[in-house]
Amino acid sequence: MFRVKVPATSANIGPGFDSLGIAFNLYNEFEFSEVNGGINFYGFKEEFSNTDNIVYKAMEICFEKCKYKPKGLKIGLVNENIPISRGLGSSSTCIVAGLLGANAIMNNPLSIEELFKLGVEIEGHPDNIAPAFFGDMIVSVVEDGEVYYNKINIEEGLSFIALIPKFELSTSLSREVLPAQVNFKDAVYNVSRVSLMISSFISGKFDLLKYCCKDALHEKYRSPLIKNYNLVYNKCMDLDALCCFLSGAGPTIMAIIKNDNKEFLEKLNTFIKDENIPWSIKELSIDNLGATTVFKGGTNER
């Protein structure tokens, strides 16, 4: 049996639309075994315990790539810490886990780079898939069907605060509200800010984040879908957050603070409670490893 652990991810980081992502120390864990027959799911909600399961679909693609036909499978979700449809990469954890689990069952015929490319093909873009596989903050692009990426080493001194609404927001809905075209001014706005933002993370000049971690391509279209967005966003900035951004397609808002901003969490929790806003708050740090696979013993029948 193999255990696969995949980190939560946050895409875009403000102006880095569909190209930037970061991995956090919040994880989903899955188990995989090949058995003599049948397909058995455990740990998943009933609605996901069937062959439409994203994990299983990813496994199928990996098996087909290698022309491998398992006799049967046991697929388990043993630790679910990443909420579904909240902009924290839950679907990417399923894709990455399915690919790694299938590859492990086949005794790893595919390299991590080959699995990564398969993951991008399934997801459609690399912003969540890249940090889920490799950890850290990653910038990635697709050129002529090939995926190119590079890690960004962020200086120490930051905490990431996820403000997670109780309601779900589907990626498909949040994509539908985006315009088919953007104007030149908005494109320049984002290009300049994402460039300065990356340099700020690398250099440790974190005070620049309040000016460059801003977006003109997607947040103004998606934020109206999120009740209390402006209220929560503005409060975070009032409490001296360096910046706030919509995590992926939302509805989670991510705030970045300096580690010495000791009162931020207490005051924000009080505000959320006093305003009766049904959101949860998690303090996160960067995951540097990405997804991991461990053989847990027991049988893996062939």
Q: What is the pLDDT of residue 298?
A: 52
179 annotated ligand binder: no
pLDDT, average across residues 123-136: 95
| Architecture in CATH of 2-152+287-295 | 2-Layer Sandwich (3.30)
Q: What is the DSSP letter of 116?
A: H
Look at residues 114, 116, 232, 223 and name the one whose alpha carbon lies nearest to residue 174. 223
Indicate the pTM of the whole model.
Answer: 0.94
Judge contact between 249 and 169, C-beta under 8 A.
yes
Q: How deeply is 223 buried, as exposed, middle or buried, from its count of CB atoms within 10 A (0-12, 13-18, 19+)?
A: middle
175 annotated ligand binder: no
pLDDT, average across residues 272-284: 95
Q: What is the pLDDT of residue 104?
A: 97
Mean predicted lDDT score pLDDT of the chain: 94
Query: Percentage of the chain surpassing pLDDT 70?
Result: 98
Which amino acid, one-letter code, is at 160? F
91 annotated ligand binder: yes
Q: What is the pLDDT of residue 110?
A: 98
Q: What is the pLDDT of residue 172?
A: 83
Give the residues across from 244 on adjacent strands.
Answer: 255
Task: Give the start-end residues of each E strand in the chain.
Answer: 2-11, 20-35, 38-42, 72-80, 137-143, 146-152, 158-165, 243-246, 253-258, 279-284, 292-295
Q: What angle do helix axes 264-274 and 229-238 make, rounded to 10 degrees?
A: 150
Q: How do residues 29-40 score in pLDDT, each as one tens digit?
A: 999 999 999 999
93 annotated ligand binder: yes
83 annotated ligand binder: yes
| Residue extents of the structural domains in the chain | 2-152+287-295, 158-284
Residues 68, 60: Cα–Cα separation, whole Å? 9
Q: What is the pLDDT of residue 95?
A: 98
Q: What is the pLDDT of residue 98?
A: 98
Give the residues across from 137 on adjacent strands.
Answer: 22, 152
Q: What are phi and psi of 175, to 5 degrees?
A: -80, -35
Q: What is the pLDDT of residue 71?
A: 95
224 annotated ligand binder: no
Q: What is the pLDDT of residue 145?
A: 87
Strands 72-80, 38-42: pairing is parallel
Longest dimension (CA), the chain: 59
Which band of pLDDT confidence, cut at 50, 70 and 90, is reported for residue 299? very low
Instruction: Output the six-digit token pair for 144.
Output: 């002529």
Q: How do residues 142-163 score in pLDDT, each as one tens digit?
A: 999 899 999 999 999 999 999 9
Cis peptide before 7 (omega within 30 of 0): no
Is residue 300 pLDDT above 50, yes or no?
no
pLDDT, average across residues 274-285: 95
pLDDT, average across residues 33-52: 94
| Dihedral (CA of 272, 277, 278, 284) sign | negative
Task: Considering only residues 301 and 71, tell me which one the structure prediction assigns the higher pLDDT.
Answer: 71
Is residue 301 pLDDT above 50, yes or no?
no
Which band of pLDDT confidence, cut at 50, 70 and 90, is reported for residue 297? low
Which band of pLDDT confidence, cut at 50, 70 and 90, is reported for residue 170? confident
85 annotated ligand binder: yes
286 annotated ligand binder: no
Give the residues across from 28 on adjacent strands.
Answer: 6, 80
Residues 170, 95: Cα–Cα separation, whole Å? 17
How many helices (H) and strands (E) the chain has is answered by 10, 11
Which band of pLDDT confidence, cut at 50, 70 and 90, is reported for residue 230? very high
> What is the residue-wise DSSP string for 21-32?
EEEEEEEEEEEE
Q: How do residues 77-114 score in pLDDT, each as one tens digit?
A: 999 999 998 999 999 999 999 999 999 999 999 999 99
SS (H, E, C) 88-103: CCHHHHHHHHHHHHHH
pLDDT, average across residues 235-261: 96
Residues 156, 142: Cα–Cα separation, whole Å? 29
89 annotated ligand binder: yes
Residues 299, 63: Cα–Cα separation, whole Å? 20
Is residue 263 helix, strand or coil? coil
Residues 38, 40: Cα–Cα separation, whole Å? 6
Topology of domain 158-284 in CATH is Alpha-Beta Plaits (3.30.70)
